[in-house]
Amino acid sequence: MTQDELKRAVAAAAIEDIKPLLSRDTIIGVGTGSTANFFVDLLAELKHDFQGAVASSDATAERLRGHGIDVFELNHVGTVPVYVDGADEIDAHFNMIKGGGAALTREKIVAACAERFVCIADASKHVDVLGGFPLPIEVIPMARSYVAREMVKLGITPVYRDGVVTDNGNQILDGYECLFEDPKAMEQRLNNIVGVVTNGLFAQRGADVLLLGTNEGVERYTP
């Protein structure tokens, strides 16, 4: 199967996974990226079975609205029963690297307000140790150089993602050449750097369910 076919298959599996949660007043959290886009497109077929969605990016909000799905502000919703999103990498403990599409901050916020995080990923995203994929860090623009120097002290090589501005008006540093054996501790350390808005390690709040697309079919994992 192609990578896109695997992404579509996990998106379809996620639809089946969340169906029991849907009612006319259900508002669900929806992530960002190419895998999440497949999910949004399939979700459209169920749009009369739930109230709407909270989006983790402007792009996802636009896609949801394009399908006629109502988009709600998180502040007006409180919690959502489920958040469905992709990942750039996920390990056996359901820790993830996210933010390849620069949406990490809003993703982490919606995930924090979700009772269940369903990660949808093709098999290429499953790794033993996080860090093969460069770690995105969203920074306040004036702090970029400072944060980059602090990253070097932690053994991470920073590269400025030139030209990218997040939905929050900030910039992205991608962290290379570091494997994250203890992602929870590193997530905390990076959060402590002044000027960091969010880092792409999702370890303190990892996934609760992993739907992994393989050539043998979609595999469902829970911790």
Ligand X SMILES: O=C[C@H](O)[C@H](O)[C@H](O)COP(=O)(O)O
The burial of 38, by beta-carbon neighbours within 10 Å (0-12 exposed, 13-18 middle, 19 or more buried), is given as buried
Among 29, 33, 158, 183, binds ligand X (CB under 6 A): 33
The burial of 205, by beta-carbon neighbours within 10 Å (0-12 exposed, 13-18 middle, 19 or more buried), is given as middle
Nearer to ligand X, 27 or 102 (CB): 102
Among 17, 74, 84, 99, binds ligand X (CB under 6 A): 99
Check residue 106 for interaction with ligand X (CB under 6 A).
no
Nearer to ligand X, 119 or 147 (CB): 119
Check residue 35 for interaction with ligand X (CB under 6 A).
yes
Reply yes or no on whether 216 is catalytic. no
Residue 23 known to bind ligand: no
CA–CA gap between residue 17 and residue 28 (Å, rounded): 13
Nearer to ligand X, 103 or 127 (CB): 103
Q: Which single residue brings its beta carbon nearest to ligand X?
A: 33
Among 29, 52, 101, 131, binds ligand X (CB under 6 A): 101
CA–CA gap between residue 34 and residue 87 (Å, rounded): 10
Helix 3-18 × helix 34-43 angle, to 10°: 50
> Residue 40 in 3-state DSSP?
helix
Candidates 30-38, 46-54, 110-118, 154-162: pick the segment binding ligand X (CB under 6 A): 30-38
